[in-house]
Amino acid sequence: MKKIKLEIVNLTYSQAQTGAYVLVLGETKGAKRRLPIVIGGFEAQAIAIELEKMTPSRPLTHDLFKSFAEGFNITVSEVIIYNLVEGIFYAKIICSNDGKEVEIDARTSDAIALAVRFGCPVTTYESILAKAGILLDDDAVPGENIVKIEESVEADENDFMKKSTEELTMLLEKALSDEDYERASKIRDELNNRKKS
């Protein structure tokens, strides 16, 4: 299966879940799809600290893991997001030592926190992006369908099932333009559920 390289596009506080953050990954080449992943506050902090090149007074858990690995000549060559089951992403860390390669199962947030520390690529498969990715529409005209969108935005998020596919598509465009990736992922999930039916 062909792997697709991803990069961190955004890391933002979740408006829907207290203490949670949304990590947004995007394709480095090709289509402009985004992969929003809800992660915990600790992991978000660990990723942000490394991205901002800040040095905490004492090593964080992910820093400790990196020091431990380097102390035993273990390298991390890649992080792969390889599965999505019931809204949960699964990842593995590809490590090597003396020519031996090992795959270690990990939470996606922890795997990405390590990837930014080791400077290794984060990849996924087309099937994951097709299932959970959100395509940014460069052809969308700003302000188009704005009246319908504004009316729909006021509705309760739990009412997605009552909306038409066209209304959901407009809501998705609005959520993406507002960079509300968490809401966009919920709308995407509802649209995907309809495709299965």
Same domain, 87 and 149: no
45 C-beta neighbours (distance < 10 Å), count: 16
Q: Whole-model pTM above 0.75?
A: no
Q: Distance between CA atoms of 109 and 47, rounded to whole angstroms?
A: 8
Same domain, 87 and 124: yes
Per-residue pLDDT for 102 more than 90?
yes
**Which pLDDT value is given to residue 146?**
21
Q: Distance between CA atoms of 172 and 181, rounded to whole angstroms?
A: 9
197 vs 38 pLDDT, higher one: 38
pLDDT tens digits along 6-54: 999 988 887 777 778 889 999 988 768 899 999 988 898 899 889 888 8
Q: Distance between CA atoms of 164 and 185, rounded to whole angstroms?
A: 17
Of 100, 132, 164, which residue sits at a domain end?
132
**Which pLDDT value is given to residue 182?**
73
- What is the length of the chain? 197
Q: What is the dihedral of CA 30, 91, 107, 121, to 10 degrees?
A: -50
**Which pLDDT value is given to residue 65?**
95
**Which pLDDT value is given to residue 17?**
72
Same domain, 175 and 150: yes
Per-residue pLDDT for 58 more than 80?
yes
**Which pLDDT value is given to residue 71?**
95
Backbone phi, then psi, for 161, in 5-degree steps? -65, -25
**What range does the domain containing 124 cover?**
3-132
Same domain, 27 and 123: yes
Same domain, 38 and 122: yes
Same domain, 156 and 112: no
Same domain, 54 and 83: yes
Same domain, 37 and 65: yes
Q: Distance between CA atoms of 61 and 50, rounded to whole angstroms?
A: 12
Same domain, 36 and 114: yes
Quote the number of domains for the chain. Answer: 2
Of 92, 112, 132, which residue sits at a domain end?
132
Where do the H-state alpha helices sit in 20-139? 41-51, 61-71, 108-118, 126-132
Span 162-169, average pLDDT:
77
Q: Distance between CA atoms of 170 and 176, rounded to whole angstroms?
A: 10
Span 77-96, average pLDDT:
95
Where do the H-state alpha helices sit in the chain? 41-51, 61-71, 108-118, 126-132, 146-153, 165-177, 181-196
pLDDT tens digits along 104-142: 999 999 999 999 999 999 999 999 998 998 887 554 333
